[in-house]
Amino acid sequence: MDTQNTHRVALVTGASGGIGRAVAERLARDGMSVVVHYAGNAGRAEETVASITGRGGRALAARADVADADQVEALFDTAERAFGGVDVVAHTAGVLRLARVAEQDLDDLDDLLRTNVRGTFAVAREAARRVRRGGAVITFSSSVVKLAFPGYAGYAASKAAVDALTPVLAGELRGRDVTVNAVAPGPTATPLFLEGKDRETVDRLAAQPPLERLGLPEDIAESVAFLAGPGRWINGQTVYANGGIA
């Protein structure tokens, strides 16, 4: 395997902003060509592409509904046509819907599960078929699976499914020299996380880790870069990137 990531190709879902954009930019700095996936905001995706190409990297934007099998297949086709193959899949795309169990709207829950569970499975399935030897698949879980924050039941359940899928896929890819791991961020300062939270809530969450701050998208991107590159002996694991929240 080329440990310097030269001529490697990464497909990053949800790369139009937040953690996904930081992941795309970080993998590009490691020398990878990057397919910047987005679901709806083409302008923000093109901003990510411009950020990468402006530093001399290679990137293109591609739209897909990650829960639609045909669109996911076409997304991988785009990567292969443009860059010759896929070596790293970082599946950051997901949605967040908050509600206490007693007030949970089941249509909202269906939407959440469609994107976070079916979408993860659709991307993982195509990755299992196409990622080249020496590659890596990085799914996205969440630290709320174990932190049990009120209001996060549906979201945590969707991410627990990712925790279950990840080691199974790692085992199924035996002999392929492809690692499969999940990254489970803790509270991270993204617009999605900060939306609807007052200053007191944000400060309380920031004080929880021993490092006494919220995570940054770049912190999570570093974990992904390690799993996508030198972290070859980590496989089938959920890596908690949360600053030490117990």
Q: Which residues contact 68 (CB under 8 A, 6 or more apart)?
A: 122
Return the beta strands (E) in the chain as ranges: 9-13, 33-38, 59-63, 88-91, 136-140, 179-185, 238-241
Q: Which residues contact 235 (CB under 8 A, 6 or more apart)?
A: 170, 179, 180, 181
If you compute the radius of gyration of the chain from its CA atoms, what whole number of angstroms results?
17
Residue 97 and residue 137: Cα distance in Å, rounded?
25
Q: Which residues contact 204 (CB under 8 A, 6 or more apart)?
A: none
Name the active-site residue from 38, 152, 155, 240. 155
38 is catalytic: no
Active site residues: 155
